[in-house]
Chains A and B, each alone.
Chain A
Amino acid sequence: MSRTKIVLAGEGGQGVQSIAKILVEAGYEAGKQVLYIPNFGVEQRGGVSIAFCQIADEKIGEPRFAKGNIIIMLSDRAIDRCTTYVDENSTVVYDTSVCTKKPEVKCKEIIGVDANRIANEQLSARVFNIIILGVLLEATKVLELSDIKNAMEKALGKKFDAKPELRELNYKALEMGMGLINAKVEA
C-alpha cells in the first residue's frame, strides 16, 4: 500500500500533536510524501486534540480522509470523536489505562495498550506520548526506528544534550511502546 492514513486523538496536553510532528518529520526526512493536519476545537487548550497524518510514496491528494488505517484513541472523548474514522480495514489502538471503555467499532483489529500506566509506574508520565509513538511506529511499519530517532534528535536534541538521561528515557519509552504492540499482537 502506498499511503498510510493515521488518526491520533487524545486530550489536550497528552502530547498528541508533538508525536504527530515527530512522526511526519521522520517521514519527510526519510524521503516520503507526508501531510499532517492538527485539528483542535474552538478551545485550543483542554479539548480533544486530533492529528491527521498521512505518509505515502506518491504525492498526496486529499488532506483529510474519511477512514484511517490506524486510529489511536487516548481518552474516552477521543473514542467518541474518532469512531467515525474507523472502517473494516482499520486498526484501532486505545489506551486501556486511560479509557474507561473499549471502542465499539467494526474494524480489522482492536489493540489495547496500557501506556499510561507503564509511563507512570516504570518511566515518567512525561514520556507517555513517546510510548504511543513507539506503538504507532510498530503498528504502521512504514518508517524505521532510526528515522524516528533522527526526528526526535531534531525536535528534542537540545534538551537531550542538556540532560542526557532524557535521551535514554525517551528512547526507552519508544522501544517499550514498540514492544507493547508486539506483545499484544502475539497474545
Chain B
Amino acid sequence: MVNKLIKEDTKMFLTGNEVLAYAANSAEAEFMYGYPITPQNEIMHTWCKLLPKTGAGFLQTEDEISAGFSTIGGILAGKRAFTATAGPGNVIMQDAQSMAEMMRIPFVCAVMQRGGPSTATVIYAQQETRLTCFGGNGEGFRIVYSTAGHQDLYDYMIKAFNTAWKYRFPTYVLADGYQGKMREPVLLYDPASRGIKMVPTTKALLGEGEIGKDRKSAHLRNTYNMEEELMEVLEGYKADYEKISEEIAEWEEYKADDAEILIIAHGIVARSARTAIDELREQGIKAGLFRPITIRPLAVKPLRAAVSRAKQILFTESANGQLAQMVLEKLYGLTTPYSTLFKMGVGVTGDDIVNKVKSMAVAV
C-alpha cells in the first residue's frame, strides 16, 4: 500500500505533469516505470520527489520499450503500475502496448503529445491521436481519454486506473506538451471523498494458492498457432469492447444545442474553441462545440445527434485531421458539410477559430 498525499480538497497551482503524478498517487498507484522524454519528464520528476512520502516505487529504464514492458511486468505482479511517454517514445512503446492489448493487461499510460513525425518538436501537438488509439499491429482495443487542462488531468488519470482494471483494456490519458508544461490552478481531492472506489488489483502471476494443490500454474501467452484460434479470441475482445463502449464513452458539449456551426475538437484545442465560441456568439454567430472526451471509443450517438442539428461542421486540430478521420467514419450517412482548420504540430488559438468560423458563416 502507498500513502496518499492528498487527504482533503487542496487547491494548487501546478504544471500538468505535476498534476499527473499527484493523480497517480491519489489513485493509489504503486509503481511507475519510465524513460526520459520531453515533455513528460516532470511526471517522473514529481513522482520521484514524492517517493519518500508515498512509499511507492520507481524504475528508470533503458528506453521506452523497456518502460512499457516492465510496466506490464509490474502489473502482472498485481501492482497498480503505470508509465508515461511522448512522441518517438510512444512510437517504440507500441511494442509493449500491443502486448497489453492482446493480453488484456490493465496498462495505464499518460501520453504528452509533442510534434511529429520523427523528433520534430518537444513542445506540443495532437499528432499522436491515431497512434495512441490504434498503434501497434492490432485493432485498437484501447480506451483513450483526451484531456483539456489540469482538472481533467487529475480527474481522468484517476479514472484511467479504474477503467483499465475494471475492463482490462489498455487505458490512456492523452494530453500534450502544453498541458504538461503549463501552470494553472487545479483542485486535488481524495477520490474517496467523491465516492470513487479504486478497483482492486489482482496478481496474474504468483497469485493466491499453491500450484499443483490449489490451482494450476498460470500460462499467459500472446501467441497462437491457428488463424481461427486468434480470431475467436479477438472476437471475444471485440464483443467486450463494443458492449462497454456506450458505458465508458464521454463527451462534452458547449452551446451545441442551437449551434449552426458545430466545432468538433478534442483536448486542449477544445478550450480554444470555447474562447472562440464566446466571441462568435457576441458577434451573433451561433457556434457550438462537441468535444469527445473518450476519443476511443467515441460517443457515437451524441456525436451524430449534435452533427445532425448543425448546419455546418468545423474540425480543428493541431494535426492533419487525425480525429476528423475517426469521427467522419462514425458520421456515415449524414450530409452536414464540413470545413477544416488543421495546424500540424501548432497550437490552435481562439482567433484562428473565430476567423475560420466567420469565413464559413459568410460562405453560407
Contacts and interface: CB of A to CB of B under 8 A. Distances in A.
Given A61-B278, A62-B272, A63-B347, A42 B185 contact: no
Given A39-B123, A40-B122, A66-B352, A61 B181 contact: no
Contacts of B274: 61-62
Interface string B309-323: 000000000000000
Given A62-B350, A64-B349, A34 B185 contact: yes
A38 interface: yes
Contacts of A67: 351
Interface in A8-22: 21
A28 B13 CA distance: 7
Given A40-B123, A61-B274, A24 B351 contact: no
B15 to A, nearest CB: 9
Chain A CB within 10 Å, residue with most, of B123, B181, B184, B352? B184
B119 interface: yes
Chain A, interface size category, equals: 20 to 34
Given A37-B178, A66-B352, A61 B272 contact: yes
Contacts of A25: 13
Contact of B268 (A21, A40, A42, A63): A63
B183 interface: yes
B119 A42 contact: yes
B304 interface: no
A114 to B, nearest CB: 30
Contacts of B183: 21, 24, 34-36
A64 B119 CA distance: 22
Interface residues of B, number: 27
Contacts of A185: none
A60 to B, nearest CB: 7
A132 to B, nearest CB: 19
A37 B13 CA distance: 13
Contacts of B13: 24-25, 28, 34
A36 B352 contact: no
Nearest to A27: B13
A44 interface: yes
B162 to A, nearest CB: 27
Contacts of B182: 35-38, 63
Interface string B96-107: 000000000000
A37 B181 contact: yes
Interface string A21-51: 1001100100001111111111010000000
A61 B268 CA distance: 9
A64 B352 CA distance: 11
A42 B87 CA distance: 13
Contact of B185 (A33, A39, A40, A66): A33
B184 A61 contact: no
Contacts of B268: 63
A137 B134 CA distance: 48
7 contacts: A25-B13, A35-B182, A39-B123, A44-B38, A62-B274, A62-B275, A63-B268
